Amino acid sequence: MTAWLATHLVAAALLPPLALVILLAVGLTLRRRRPRLSASLILLAAAALYALSTPWVGGLLQKSLEISAPVSPAELQTADAIVVLGGGRRTDAAEYGGDTLNDLSLARLRYAVHLQRASGLPILVTGGMPGGGTAAEGRIMQHILQSEYGISPRWVEDASLTTWDNARLSAPLLKQAGAQRIVLVSHAWHLRRAVPLFEAQGLAVVPAGTQFARTRVDSVVDLLPDPAGLRASSFTLHEWLGILWYKLRSIFAEGTP
């Protein structure tokens, strides 16, 4: 078992929906021996599932991760490069005859193209092959940029498996070319974790988030559970767990002689 797979299995067990399934299973197991505790666990699992599945709660949770407003034209003018973080792939996509980007990566790439056309800045794409597959995220992003947008990225980093790796492996490429201040493109809920990692590599970072959270209740639909709401909540809790893990990792690394 790879470290990447082990990490994601542990994370899955700590996050919804699997964590709620585990909680429900424990409650059902205790139904005869501890009926009150069983009822409490089952009720907790049901209430948490309902709340986390509503678009309103999902939006509120994602808003807690946002660290900046949308990037401004003035901020673009101060930067040396645009860095796009891969957000995942669809492996062996039948309609494309192989690996391609998932919707998260495509949203980030499209926004990076928007910023590049507004600024003329060179682009670095970063992402490897976490979970296997045949093509790295960085290489797929390079292909899409060239074939669909007519833009060639100046740098391609294709070995990273985590956001930590994205920063560690991208920084030398940028510094060798004299790029010290970057526009970092990712989802708005991901930048709280990503920005400090690039800053730790000695780079100045302009956060460039896409898909900012919506927190208004415009209709009763925003209070009804749906898959999109649960997805938003799961992403947010995954990010907070990742932030905690990286902080612990930094502490352990500092204590290593």
Same domain (yes/no): 122, 248:
no
Average pLDDT, the chain: 94
Per-residue confidence (pLDDT) for residue 251, from 0 to 100: 79
Per-residue confidence (pLDDT) for residue 4, from 0 to 100: 67
Same domain (yes/no): 103, 201:
yes
Q: What are the beta bridge partners of residue 126?
A: 85, 157
Q: Is residue 47 part of a domain?
A: yes
Q: Is residue 135 part of a domain?
A: yes
Same domain (yes/no): 83, 59:
no
Q: What is the pLDDT of residues 68-111, one digit of tens each?
A: 999 999 999 999 999 999 999 999 999 999 999 999 999 999 99
Same domain (yes/no): 125, 249:
no
Going by C-alpha positions, the residue among 137, 135, 134, 115 that lies closest to residue 126 is 137
How far is residue 146's CA from residue 80's CA, in Å, rounded to a whole number? 21
Same domain (yes/no): 202, 249:
no
Same domain (yes/no): 203, 79:
yes
Higher-confidence residue: 156 or 252?
156
Same domain (yes/no): 42, 81:
no
Per-residue confidence (pLDDT) for residue 257, from 0 to 100: 45
- Look at the chain and report how many structural domains it folds into: 2
Find the mean pLDDT for residues 215-231. 95
How far is residue 44's CA from residue 25's CA, in Å, rounded to a whole number? 12
Same domain (yes/no): 149, 176:
yes
pTM of the full predicted structure? Answer: 0.91
Same domain (yes/no): 22, 125:
no
Q: Is residue 114 part of a domain?
A: yes
Same domain (yes/no): 197, 102:
yes
DSSP 3-state assignment of 17? coil
Confidence tier at 255 by pLDDT (50, 70, 90):
low
Would you say 109 and 139 are in contact if contact means Cβ atoms under 8 Å apart?
A: no
For 4-8, 110-114, 175-179, which range has the lowest pLDDT when averaged over its residues? Answer: 4-8
Find the mean pLDDT for residues 191-200. 97
Sheet of 204-210, strands arranged across: 155-157, 123-126, 81-85, 181-187, 204-210
Q: Is residue 4 part of a domain?
A: no
Same domain (yes/no): 129, 182:
yes
Q: What is the pLDDT of residues 162-185, one digit of tens each?
A: 999 999 999 999 999 999 999 999
Q: Is residue 218 part of a domain?
A: no
Confidence tier at 254 by pLDDT (50, 70, 90):
low
Decide if pLDDT at 238 tops 70. Answer: yes
Decide if pLDDT at 34 tops 70. Answer: yes
Find the mean pLDDT for residues 238-242. 94
Q: What is the pLDDT of residues 39-69, one digit of tens each?
A: 999 999 999 999 999 999 999 999 999 999 9
Domain that holds residue 239: 9-64+223-254
Same domain (yes/no): 112, 232:
no
CATH of the domain at 147: 3.40.50.620
Share of the chain above pLDDT 90, in %: 88
